[in-house]
Structure 1
């Protein structure tokens, strides 16, 4: 079985699942470029904990963890089967790397997982589990999580970090969806793209000090931490491809990356 890349996807607004746009169309078409996964592990910006956690739910519920959106969005369900065996395998790999992970039997799929998956794999027929992020632990911790989980790719597991390349909601709410990208958003996205292409991991880990407008783009950093999980799950020295770049609401960069 060919190894799958690790992915970072920006999920932006939950309405991504329903509204046409560049990122919506990209996600709808991208899975056709990949071998079909045996299972999927999602590290989502919307499951946060103090220690790593994995979901062992056999039939994970669809969590509508947002307010004020279209009734059609609340009616959506993503009834993918759970992947408790994958969660167990991930827990073992993390333990081998010295990282203790807790199992959670009833965690459903939050919108950081089911919104992009509803576009990538709309049939909802691939088993899915989720990994919680630790927002106070920083990028290096999440890079380490991804590196520990890297062997799963050889077993046909698609590892997805789901967040947002930029995530200033105050600025986003102040602009319509089709507003052009703010200059400070473009500057940050371009810096990340250049540093990834250069393999400058130390710069990326220190993005808070080195990237332009880092705090403006990420007042809190939980939406960028999935990038480091995906980066760690990629192969050392492997190809890094910027799959997609667009912006919504002036402040939400919807970039996606593949780490081979």
Structure 2
């Protein structure tokens, strides 16, 4: 609570200085820090058939900050718990592409925030962030129009405000899982076409006993495991950030305090 109040006071103070220089347009760009793990097609969990939308692949609680595969081998086109473990943890090694990721990258994507409503949005019907990093040839794929086969994860800390809209909606493919306070709240596992799911933070706060003004953690995990499509569409109205944003975003945070989805930070692996 102390960190939350300190952050609000700092943000308000800085905003008083910066507001005069912030454009009055309603839509503002806000970068999001993400971790990308690159895989090759020879990894047994990638390009391993189309399972369709499959819930229940991972446990309901994060272990060591990452999801754990709990289904029977083959479920959701996943070989087993050991192969799945390489998706979000462990060292990358380009000499063992059938066992591990081949490289990891810390990058940013640009979301947009509507100052007047606090709606954070990211929409991509061609989500291939590795194309600009690795190129699309010699990347371990047999299809060279994109660099397929990767995972993405990011984490952030938010403060619960029951007066906000407090909804999160995702549409995309393939696997997507979201955890609040290490507990699974969105489950779109499997290799599938674009599917939609969401949650209401007010209901989750009630079930988890999160009180107004308390901090909670948000963890997002994504996997692109099959040729042809990669869709990521996010609409979020989650609460105010714990930490104070960079100066370029401070005024945006204060002006849009009614639901700005926060200062995004990458969780250390």
With structure 1 as the length reference, what TM-score do the two structures score? Answer: 0.27
Which of the two has greater helix per residue? 1
Pick the structure with greater CA Rg: 2
